[in-house]
Amino acid sequence: MDTHSPDGNFAARARTSALTSGRGLALAVASLPEALLCYTLCLVSIALVPVVGIGLFTTPWAVRWLRSFADRRRALAAKWCGIRIPSAYRPLPADGRPWALTYALLRDPATWRDLRWLLVDATAGFATALLPALLPLYALEGFALAAGMWRIYVGTTGEAYWYAFVPVSGQLPALSAGVLGVVFLLLGVRWAPALLAVHFRLTRALLAPGQEELAERVRVLTETRRDAVDSSAAELRRIERDLHDGAQARLVAMGMDLGVVEMLLDKDPAQARRLLAQARQSSADALTELRDLVRGIHPPVLAERGLGDAVRALALRLPVATEVGVELAGRAEAPVESAAYFAVSELLTNAVKHADADRVWVDLHHSDGMLRISVTDNGRGGAAVGAGSGLSGVERRLGTFDGVLAVSSPAGGPTMVTMEIPCALS
């Protein structure tokens, strides 16, 4: 059928309406229990912080669940209705201790905004999510009355059954209810997408950050971008220095040796052969240095096989036992993979050189639009983010992509470093 004809347009709208109604009904039914449970747990957990202290341990978990719930609603708003709902969560502190996380989460205005949204989502949000399904379901009720279902109600109560403004007490009024049901069905086909958009516009009004929060977010992003530019400039200087002091010096020396060989070919062939062997070794050393330099810029295994295999290759080169777990359904963008790879490389180097660890565990997985990486070692602990620390460089590298770093490293160990980078897999 030609989709540009009136019949084709109506069929397409009917399919869209049915899909939208199903989405709204599923959203209302599925979200209401989770919203109520999440709201209750968050309030109880926060209330327990000053009372018995157990809230220090449960609040970070509860608020992260709340943020995950809100992020899923943001994703549905963008996917189903094209409504973008920005988030402005403050970065979590690098100190992974429960009291520090709880303090940071409770100071974040977005936490309280999410809680207010949960309360509204369980009431007005539930009703607006049902709106796209109400008209088609009400139309089905009119069809059922026209088919004779009115007899059951009238025969049981002895009273007329009101369908909208039509009192149904006989077959003729029942047929009128069926006609009215057709009207409701046509209205549903026409307005179902707009009705679902009402729900997500309400969500956006409650979840979207204010101007002050957006300004603070811009300031943080500006700082991380500036750090990224500084890091890139330092990396370029390092590459230039390595080229000048390494491969370039060897190539110059090799050229000089070859010049001497030309003069000694007839006078002292034995010495010429020794210099040729030396030049050959210099060329091999220069090639090795160039390969190491290229691997430091962007490892071939990362470009060819992705982040998971690149981290496994890193683990194989370590002198300690390392377990790598990877659950990635696809690949992130190249800059994200590169940042994650070098962050893991820095953490593994720290575990071997500074923590005196003899066992390391690495876990990579992706969920809820977030790449999550944890590196754990059984070393002596005491790691912290600070001036001159390699962890500070990792934090700056992740900040370029709006990522966060959390460190838990009590004295005596173990050390667990967790990284989160927002990204999509392809």
Looking only at the bridges linking them, the beta strands covering 415-422 and 404-408 are: antiparallel
User: What is the pLDDT, as a whole number, of residue 233?
Assistant: 55
Give CA–CA dist 242/246, Å, rounded.
5
Whether 235-297 shares its CATH topology with 305-422 is answered no
User: What is the pLDDT, as a whole number, of residue 357?
Assistant: 84
pLDDT in tens, 274-292: 877 777 777 776 676 666 5
User: What is the pLDDT, as a whole number, of residue 289?
Assistant: 62
At position 233, the amino acid (one-letter code) is A
Take residue 364 and report the two structure tokens written for it: 């990579």
In CATH, what is the architecture of 235-297?
Up-down Bundle (1.20)
Q: Are 405 and 417 in contact (CB under 8 A)?
A: yes
User: What is the pLDDT, as a whole number, of residue 247?
Assistant: 60
Cβ-proximal residues to 336 (8 Å cutoff; 6+ apart), any chain? 371, 401, 421, 423
Q: What percent of the chain has pLDDT over 90?
A: 12
* Banded pLDDT at 387 (limits 50, 70, 90): very low
Take residue 95 and report the two structure tokens written for it: 């100190």
Orientation of helix 269-297 relative to helix 211-242, angle to 10°: 170
User: What is the pLDDT, as a whole number, of residue 368?
Assistant: 76
421 has which bridge partners? 371
- Cα–Cα distances (Å) from 232 to 235, 393, 404, in that order, read 5, 12, 19
Give CA–CA dist 27/16, Å, rounded.
16
* Banded pLDDT at 216 (limits 50, 70, 90): low
* φ and ψ of 307, to 5 deg: -65, -45
**Distance in Å from the first CA to the final CA of the chain:** 34
Orientation of helix 55-81 relative to helix 6-51, angle to 10°: 170
Considering only the C-alpha atoms of the chain, give the largest distance between any 2 of them, rounded to a whole number of Å.
127
- Cα–Cα distances (Å) from 397 to 7, 18, 240, 338, in that order, read 55, 46, 21, 10
Please tell me which residue, 102 or 397, carries the higher pLDDT value. 102
User: What is the pLDDT, as a whole number, of residue 239?
Assistant: 59
Please tell me which residue, 185 or 129, carries the higher pLDDT value. 129
Give CA–CA dist 412/209, Å, rounded.
41
Boundaries of every domain in the chain = 6-89+98-207, 235-297, 305-422
pTM over 0.85: no
Name the CATH superfamily, with its identifier, for domain 305-422: Histidine kinase-like ATPase, C-terminal domain (3.30.565.10)
Give CA–CA dist 274/283, Å, rounded.
14
Give CA–CA dist 350/271, Å, rounded.
47
Min mean pLDDT across 182-191, 211-220, 305-314, 367-376 is at 211-220
Give CA–CA dist 196/51, Å, rounded.
42
Give CA–CA dist 368/425, Å, rounded.
11
At position 200, the amino acid (one-letter code) is F
Cβ-proximal residues to 363 (8 Å cutoff; 6+ apart), any chain? 324, 325, 372, 373, 374, 376
404 has which bridge partners? 420
Q: Which 8-state DSSP code applies to residue 52?
A: T
Q: What percent of the chain has pLDDT over 70?
A: 81
Task: Give the three-state DSSP class for 331.
Answer: coil
At position 255, the amino acid (one-letter code) is G
User: What is the pLDDT, as a whole number, of residue 62?
Assistant: 92
Looking only at the bridges linking them, the beta strands covering 359-367 and 404-408 are: unpaired
* Banded pLDDT at 211 (limits 50, 70, 90): low
Torsion (CA) 148, 149, 153, 155 in degrees, nearest 10: 40
Given a cut of 60, is residue 337 above it in pLDDT? yes
pLDDT in tens, 122-157: 999 898 888 888 887 778 888 887 887 778 777 777
From 360, 359, 354, 406, select the one nearest 381 (Cα to Cα): 354
Question: Does the CA dihedral 291-294-296-301 come out positive or negative?
Answer: negative
Given a cut of 60, is residue 162 above it in pLDDT? yes
User: What is the pLDDT, as a whole number, of residue 135?
Assistant: 80
* Cis ω before 414 (30° cut-off from 0): yes
Helical spans, DSSP H, in 145-247: 150-157, 171-207, 211-242
Q: Is 311 exposed, middle or buried (0-12, 13-18, 19+ CB in 10 A)?
A: buried
User: What is the pLDDT, as a whole number, of residue 190?
Assistant: 80
Give CA–CA dist 359/376, Å, rounded.
9
